[in-house]
Structure 1
Amino acid sequence: MPYASVPPHIDGPVLVACDGAPVSSEALFNAGRLATRAFGGALHVLGVCEPTPGVAAGTDVLLVPAELDEARRASMVGDVRRAISISVAGDPSWHVDVQLGSPSRLLATEALRRHASVIVMGIGRHNPLDRLFGTETTLATLRESRVPVLAVGPSFPTHPMHAVVGLDFSAASVQAARLAARLLAPNGRLTLVHVQPRFEHPSAEWQAWDADYGRTLPPLFEQVRAQLALRDGAIVETVTVRGDPASSLLSVAQQAHC
């Protein structure tokens, strides 16, 4: 969960991004319910329907009738309500809205406008071209949003028992740790992971710097631990590894079965 440049509205609504696809809706709604319990706000379901682009016809552009996009928007409203109705975690009383626009920009804008505490989104495609060109909606929203984003996979648990947080001791990572702590189930476990630079050099200067670096970590971990609003029985552990941050964090998370 990335850092927001404004503090989260703890009592604000939880904004669940949903297009009505049943394959991902159950995890989204489970995560949405969990977030409402953690932050105390209502749950809003928002779908975003991208306008149909115009088609080039020689030197002209053939515009798409407005009625077509409105029909697509109305169809998504039906899909979202249907997904809610058949979901074990769904609630027909939830506020449902579907708008036309750029998904990442509209989600980021609506989250701010509604003073949302968090945006809940599914983890979509992960092929290299999606990442390279930024077309994956969740990744694009992470770049646009000033509100924290909780991206969930299809197996997201109803009661998370173990969360791993990448910690570089910036304000961003500390806020991520605080939000993760709020989402844990009672008696859950929070693992704070710092990844040290993997570059090593045999020089005395490097060895001295590396030793100083290591000595700063325990007090920094303690400062973060003191800022966490932990639930009763929660366990906090700290881990330091060397390597590439992304692959190292994934390795720790997999080994910990988080």
Structure 2
Amino acid sequence: MSVLAHDPVLHSASLPGVSGPVLVACDGAPVSSEALFNAGRLAQRAFGGPLQVLGICEPTPGVAAGMDVLPVPADLDEARRTSMVEDVRRTISISAAGDPTWPVDVQLGSPSRLLAAAAMHRHASVIVMGIGRHNPLDRLFGTETTLATLRESRVPVLAVGPDFPMQPIHAVVGLDFSTASVEAARLAARLVAPNGQLTLVHVRPRFEHPSVDWQAWDADYGRSLPPSFEQVRARLDPPDGVIVETVTVRGDPAASLLSFAQQAQCDLIAVGTQRHSFLERLVVGSVATRVLRTARCGVLAVPSA
């Protein structure tokens, strides 16, 4: 089904002066709904724009019959879609963080593709969704919905688990000074609670060599960091009282960032994402992928332009 179907609010974000909507992905299951809806409200306060709820109902696969595949009756999937609409509305109505006036839309198709396409078409400011499953087979085939959405999306994704707080007290940003990581820092600063803490963490290369050339390059690299940090700090607009700190560590980017975040007991990790080929993702994976799969807190992933 087209992403344009069943979508009465698609163009609300296109009006002049109206901020892009916060798109909350919900399948109607009550599990973690409080954290999900609270995260949606948090994003709405931080970024502005209306909150919209979108559910994706995957089509029923055809049944193999010998050499043929029997098609699924069209009314079956439509009935499942209608049922999900009711489930989502019910979950919203019974959730303390829900609001029955939120517009609800459920579409048939691939969750990651439709979520990413809807977010882009609506000019959404962020997609809010559950942190996703952590099944080894999901990882192997890339079918974890949250990760798949992150790879497809052109807008930020805020992924939260059931323990995500109403507002993060401490957010850690993986900062490599790319445009995406700087934007991740800027958005994370708006999510942190007043009087909270934002820590910008830069991971320096772990490769070391005794040559004079390496030592000279490494020294120059170190001297470039303070002014680079200050340039980023100047672009942030955190709530009053938020403490912004900078930290530099050495090692593997994802492992070092996760280790620091765990020790700091932060509520949110923010990272910029870079686009990789399928083979690169399969063999080494991106920092954002490893963080999303391993983090014990919420993750804000901001794609490169």
* Structure 1: gaps (5+ residues): 1-8
Where does residue 55 of structure 1 map in the other structure?
63
Separation in 2 of the partners of 1:27 and 1:231?
22
Q: Which amino acid aligns with 2:29?
A: A
Residue 134 of structure 2, aligned match among 126, 133, 142: 126
Q: Go from structure 1 to structure 2 and tell me whether the alpha carbon gap of 1:127 and 1:247 turns closer, same or farther (over 3 Å shift).
A: farther
Map residues 1-258 of structure 1 onto 2, 5 A cutoff: 11-258=19-266
CA contact (8 A) 1:10 1:39 kept: no
* TM-score between the two structures when normalised by the length of structure 2: 0.80
Separation in 2 of the partners of 1:37 and 1:154?
20
Tell me the SS of whatever aligns to 1:190: strand
* TM-score between the two structures when normalised by the length of structure 1: 0.94
> 1:131 offset after TM fit, Å?
2.2
Alignment deviations for residues 78-125 of structure 1 (CA, whole Å, 9 cap, x no partner): 211111111110111111111101101100111111111110011111
Separation in 1 of the partners of 2:197 and 2:146?
26
Separation in 2 of the partners of 1:221 and 1:128?
38
Tell me the SS of whatever aligns to 1:237: strand
> 1:128 offset after TM fit, Å?
3.3
Alignment deviations for residues 22-50 of structure 1 (CA, whole Å, 9 cap, x no partner): 11211110100001111121110100001
Runs of 4+ displaced beyond 6 Å: none
> 1:129 offset after TM fit, Å?
2.8
* Structure 2: gaps (5+ residues): 1-16, 267-305
Q: Identity over aligned residues, as a percent?
A: 84
Q: RCO higher in 1 or 2 (8 Å CA, sep ≥ 6)? A: 1
The count of residues paired between Structure 1 and Structure 2 equals 250
The CA RMSD over aligned residues, in Å, is 1.3
Tell me the SS of whatever aligns to 2:28: coil
Separation in 1 of the partners of 2:163 and 2:58?
27
